[in-house]
């Protein structure tokens, strides 16, 4: 990791180590895992799942995934125990640690508009490039040539634009595609809800890569740290920028190391006090 970034992160990590609880809010695709054309092949960067497992076990840290994917899609990639909480579809779904799923019921207008968007894909013979989720449809063009991607983007914007406009659905571009979805779905809203449930004293970090993570970065302002994880820097509301996979692994490694060292020194000083007590008796 660049030394100046490490120096700036250090006070936050010390707070994490000294706290009785900490939270890591993590986007998945592009942040913990490299992009893959085949989305079911998007395994995390080597080492990431392992260090997260150790953080969960040794650092009194809650790991929470906040993804654009369906919530049940994410956990098999990470295989962390006990299972982390997952907010899916940009916060529209919430899968708790016991596996129970919370999902707001969608109104008829939203459902009608989503079936219109689906029908349009059918007419255009584009359903094969789409991902269907509860409350959302995404068209992906990752892996296509630049020209094909541009053409597909233009077509989808033209077809879905009016549907979104009339129904109040959100039409949002992300890295490698576009998505039409229920307007309640927003990572910023998810982060705000989550933060409202925990003590303001709990240190929290949010890591994400995409334009959809910007709302979450903004929601983190005044609370903990926000980190853009991306091979190249872009204009962002995040306070830090880390280059994956190396700097991401450095960051998670430092999280683990700082809290393990802190626990060890606490144990040692407890031992010293205990020995002194014995000496007095």
Which positions lie near Mg ion, rule CB under 5 A?
27, 29-30, 209-210
CA dist 25 and 65 (Å) reads 6
Q: Which is nearer to Mg ion, 29 or 73 (CB)?
A: 29
What's the closest the beta carbon of residue 36 comes to Mg ion, in angstroms? 12
Q: Which residue is nearest to Mg ion (CB)?
A: 30
Q: 228: which DSSP letter?
A: E
What's the closest the beta carbon of residue 245 comes to Mg ion, in angstroms? 14
In sequence order, what are the residues at sequence separation of 6 or more whose Cβ sits closer than 8 angstroms to the Cβ of residue 124?
155, 159
Q: What stretches of 124-245 show up as alpha helix (H) in DSSP?
A: 146-167, 187-196, 214-219
Q: Which is nearer to Mg ion, 27 or 85 (CB)?
A: 27
What's the closest the beta carbon of residue 229 comes to Mg ion, in angstroms? 8
Q: Which is nearer to Mg ion, 116 or 213 (CB)?
A: 213
What's the closest the beta carbon of residue 138 comes to Mg ion, in angstroms? 12
Tell me which residue of 34, 65, 66 sits closest to 47, measured CA to CA.
34
Q: What are phi and psi of 30, to 5 degrees?
A: 85, -20
CA dist 239 and 86 (Å) reads 24
CA dist 233 and 201 (Å) reads 30
What's the closest the beta carbon of residue 209 comes to Mg ion, in angstroms? 5
Per DSSP, which regions of the chain are E strands?
Answer: 22-26, 61-66, 85-88, 93-95, 101-102, 130-133, 136-140, 170-174, 177-181, 204-208, 225-229, 240-242
Let me know: does 16 contact 252? Beta carbons within 8 Å. Answer: no
Q: Which is nearer to Mg ion, 142 or 153 (CB)?
A: 142
- Determine the angle formed by the axes of helices 146-167 and 108-123, rounding to 10 degrees: 150
Q: Which is nearer to Mg ion, 174 or 255 (CB)?
A: 174
What's the closest the beta carbon of residue 11 comes to Mg ion, in angstroms? 27
Q: Which is nearer to Mg ion, 33 or 225 (CB)?
A: 33
What Å distances lie between residue 136 and 105, 178, 233, 253, CA to CA? 13, 11, 29, 35
What's the closest the beta carbon of residue 5 comes to Mg ion, in angstroms? 20
Q: Which residue matches tokens 């933060």?
A: 195
What's the closest the beta carbon of residue 37 comes to Mg ion, in angstroms? 15
Q: Which is nearer to Mg ion, 29 or 247 (CB)?
A: 29
Q: Which is nearer to Mg ion, 73 or 210 (CB)?
A: 210
């Amino acid at each position: 990791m660049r030394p100046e970034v490490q120096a700036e992160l250090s006070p936050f990590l010390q707070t994490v180590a000294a706290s009785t609880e900490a939270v890591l809010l993590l986007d998945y695709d592009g942040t913990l895992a490299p992009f893959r054309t085949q989305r079911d092949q998007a395994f995390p960067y080597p080492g990431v799942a392992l260090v997260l497992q150790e953080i969960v076990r040794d650092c009194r840290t809650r790991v929470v995934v906040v993804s654009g994917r369906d919530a049940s899609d994410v956990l098999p990639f990470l295989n962390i125990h006990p299972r982390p909480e997952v907010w899916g579809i940009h916060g529209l779904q919430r899968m708790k640690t016991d596996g129970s799923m919370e999902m707001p019921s969608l109104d008829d207008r939203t459902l009608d508009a989503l079936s219109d968007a689906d029908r349009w894909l059918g007419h255009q013979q584009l359903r094969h490039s789409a991902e269907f989720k509860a409350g959302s449809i995404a068209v992906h063009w990752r892996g296509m040539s630049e020209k094909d991607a541009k053409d597909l983007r233009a077509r989808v914007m033209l077809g879905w634009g009016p549907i979104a406009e009339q129904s109040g659905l959100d039409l949002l571009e992300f890295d490698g595609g576009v998505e039409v979805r229920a307007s309640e779905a927003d990572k910023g809203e998810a982060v705000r809800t989550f933060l409202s449930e925990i003590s303001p004293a709990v240190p929290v970090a949010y890591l994400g890569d995409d334009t959809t993570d910007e709302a979450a970065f903004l929601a983190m302002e005044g609370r903990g740290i926000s980190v853009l994880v991306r091979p190249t820097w872009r204009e962002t509301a995040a306070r830090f920028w880390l280059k994956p996979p190396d700097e991401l692994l450095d960051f998670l490694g430092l999280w683990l190391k700082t809290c393990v060292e802190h626990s060890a020194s606490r144990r040692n000083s407890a031992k010293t006090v205990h020995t002194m007590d014995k000496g007095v008796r």
